[in-house]
Amino acid sequence: MAASKPNGTPAASDNVPATAQRGEGGELHQQAGGSHPPLTTNQGIPVSDNQNSLRQGPRGPTLLEDFVLREKITHFDHERIPERIVHARGSGAHGYFELTHSLERYTRAKVLTETGKRTEVFARFSTVAGGAGSVDTPRDVRGFAVKFYTPEGNWDLVGNNIPVFFIQDAMKFPDLVHAVKMEPDRAFPQAASAHDTFWDFISLMPESMHMIMWAMSDRTLPRSLRTMEGFGVHSFRLLDEDGNSTFVKFHWRPKQGLQSTIWDEALKLQSADNDFHRRDLFEAISRGDFPEWELAVQLFTEEEAEQFPFDHLDPTKIVPESLVPLQVIGRMVLDRWPDNFFAETEQVAFCPANVPPGIDFSNDPLLQGRLFSYLDTQLSRLGGPNFHQIPINAPRCPFANNQRDGHMQMQVPKGRVAYEPSSLQDDSPRGTPRGFTSHATADDGRKGRTRAASFADHYSQARMFFRSLEAPEQAHLASALVFELSKVETAKVRERTVSQLRNIDDTLAQRVADGLGMTALPEPAPAAMPAQDLPPAPEVRVIGRGLETLAGRSIGILFDEGSDAALLGALKQAVQKAGAAVTLVAPKVGGARLSDGSHQQADGQLAGTPSEVFDAVAIVLSAEAGKALAKEAAAIDFASHAWAHLKALAHDEGGKVLLQAANVGNDEGIVEATQPAAFVKAASTRQWSREPSLRLLA
């Protein structure tokens, strides 16, 4: 370990540039020196601290006075016109939220107190790193944003499919995104984090280590948008009628349970269908299989939060469910596809500052910056200050104020009064006691660019996450790190990242080092606080949290000339009865003539409908067709890839010939097509025991 200064802050080492110092929260303070010019604002004013926004005390709110933050965020928000800088690739749908359990004890927000009422919503799901023209299925965090059109104004619950984030302070968001985006001198890689600038940044940011565990896990390879969780990320406040505050964290839990792909499968999905997630959402809604999520909350007081072994205002931390259990309070159902993708999905504008009375903000420094950034970015992306009048953004309840004119004004305000107070017009809008009020938080700290010492533990929850995973998930995570870092050309960046991993788990660091061919482990990175061994958090896993059911899933059945008509019909009927969609695949899109002389149309052509797009497959072939397709590359891939991706396969005698040609083995996931019930059972889950015999993992 590196030596420590008297105050406990690690001294400079090979892992931290000599021009950097760490504050008591473990953050880096860059110092101008050597050949580095001083960092300045666009007005040439030298910046003393580019790591922390200006706050009223270490855990206090961010101040509007912070011109460095505002200039930096403003410039970042306007770097792309008109595409979103992040979350550009998205899909959305309309639906409703229904409250089932009132939170009247904690809040006066009607959307959270009036049970049984349905509130219209629009949800948008997105990747983060890629542009609008990128694909749906890369390893990436997914945005999970919901706009509630409540009777008290719009509420935007804007989060991700992961409950933590890379950074603790909004000041660092432009740096994070610049690092993960295409490298500016070469404009690649697109929609990928496996490159030098991202890992250079991450290896110098210990606070990112928890998020890296999530990002390298199966969580960032969702099987569909319908089978991923959503999180509000930050702590918010609920305020009751008397202004009393309770902290709240919001969770979306998919009705179908969690499902992810595996890495090789995700790669092949990119070539099979660039729009896989968008198409899946569209088709599910079209067939009436409406995606549904439960909304759950974690509620805790200020006094309870003070007893946590971490700071809940730190957005790189979760509140484990063992400390604060989830309470399900309602459900969201998406039942209508947008009428026009551009007008709705592209023009929808979210902002975490949009909350109804009874919901308030915490002093989370990342949230505080987002309250400014989201509104600011819409001004250029959607043309001006009247973007809220676009139908998808307009509240469904009446709204009135004295704002006038501006670019793209679409209303015709009447009357002579556009100010307040006034006495010339009886119907001019006024403030109301029922309006939004902020919690009277007592902040007695001195303003400054500081970070709370309680934010300094960067490794304990990262360790908890990794050690809570099932063995296959740990192997996937380690292998993902090896893959990503193998794309990094700069040796010191690879070594510095492994040195960070040593603070999380030495076995993980060793697995990654072995995968990279390192002859020795580097020294652990300097740590502001050593990692604690926290209790496991089973809720972070994906394996074991999916529902063993075919409901809402997709099954492919390969057939050809002479396929057994009765067997094909029985399989299709059993799968559909179990709630799955069936796609019939044949070598020709025109289909084939079955054993009973009937002609069966195909839903998909073999070369263009690979097994990657299904949750499980069945192969029903005549003996002649089995022999013929055993010489067809697309058919061999159909079978071998399903086997490699741990999916169930049903087969008859002709299908068995194809399986043998594809070197498909035998386990509980390989069943006779004459046993539809056995296939339904096997298809409801992946065959994880198969994986060690198929691929080398770190």
Name the residues annotated as catalytic: 87, 160
Query: Residue 224: which of 190, 185, 254 has the closest Cα?
Result: 254
CA distances from residue 495 to 484, 485, 521, 685 in whole angstroms, order as listed:
13, 9, 8, 38
158 three-class SS: strand
Which is it for the CA torsion 511, 517, 520, 526, positive or negative?
Answer: negative
The amino acid that residue 443 corresponds to is D
Beta bridge partner(s), residue 156:
147
Please, where are the H alpha helices in 299-446?
A: 302-305, 365-381
CB 369 within 8 A of CB 177: no
* Burial zone of 22 (CB within 10 Å; 0-12 exposed, 13-18 middle, 19+ buried): buried
CB 641 within 8 A of CB 611: yes
Q: How many Å apart are CA 221 and CA 479, to the nearest integer?
A: 14
CB 281 within 8 A of CB 333: no
The alpha carbon of residue 85 and the mean position of all alpha carbons in its chain are separated, in whole angstroms, by: 16
CB 661 within 8 A of CB 619: no
* Burial zone of 190 (CB within 10 Å; 0-12 exposed, 13-18 middle, 19+ buried): middle
Structure tokens at 684: 């409801």
Please identify which residue in the block is written with the tokens 């300045």. Answer: 40
Supply the DSSP symbol for 649.
Answer: E
Q: How many Å apart are CA 204 and CA 14, to the nearest integer?
A: 11
CB 173 within 8 A of CB 211: no
Which is it for strands 447-448 and 55-56: parallel, antiparallel or unpaired?
antiparallel
CB 551 within 8 A of CB 579: yes
b/e for 118-138, b at 16 or more Cβ within 10 A? ebebbbbbbbbbbbeebbbbb
CA distances from residue 145 to 93, 214, 229, 360 in whole angstroms, order as listed:
11, 19, 12, 18
Query: Residue 272: which of 692, 608, 672 has the closest Cα?
Result: 608
The amino acid that residue 680 corresponds to is V
The alpha carbon of residue 327 and the mean position of all alpha carbons in its chain are separated, in whole angstroms, by: 21
